[in-house]
Amino acid sequence: MAFKHYPQISKEDIPSMNVENVNAYLRDFSISDDKEKPMTSGLFRLKAGESLKYTYTYHEMKFIVDGSFTIEDETGQKVEAKPGDLFYFPKGTAVTFTTSDFG
């Protein structure tokens, strides 16, 4: 089975998530065909403004490439995320993303 290559995705446009008053953008680039254990990869960006509140209906991992976020979950755990940080959000996690600039 051949692998798939998506060159230079960081240069692609990322459409708005269409959340009112929130400058959040998301684009999925690759989605697996596995119905039992689906996997998706893509890019997420948040610009300064209102926070994004999101509850994951799936397991998610995020790797911070650029910028910074404040990430807080419903347990009160709060982290200042920066480039090089990796996060795992179990299915059902309610999280708030905030940035003073972009991330």
pTM: 0.88
Q: What is the mean pLDDT of residues 66-93?
A: 96
Tell me if 90 sits within 8 A of 56, measured CB to CB: yes
How much is the mean pLDDT over the chain? Answer: 94
3-state secondary structure of 67: coil
pLDDT tens sequence across 7-33 = 999 889 999 999 999 999 999 999 888
Q: How are the residues of the chain apportioned to helix, strand and coil, as percentages rounded to the nearest 5?
A: 5, 45, 55
At 97, the pLDDT band (50, 70, 90 cuts) reads: very high
Tell me if 33 sits within 8 A of 22, measured CB to CB: no
| Whether pLDDT at 73 is above 90 | yes
- Which sequence spans correspond to the domains of the chain? 50-103
Q: Which residue has the tokens 């926070």?
A: 51
Torsion, Cα of 7, 9, 12, 16 (10° steps): 150
Architecture of domain 50-103: Sandwich (2.60)
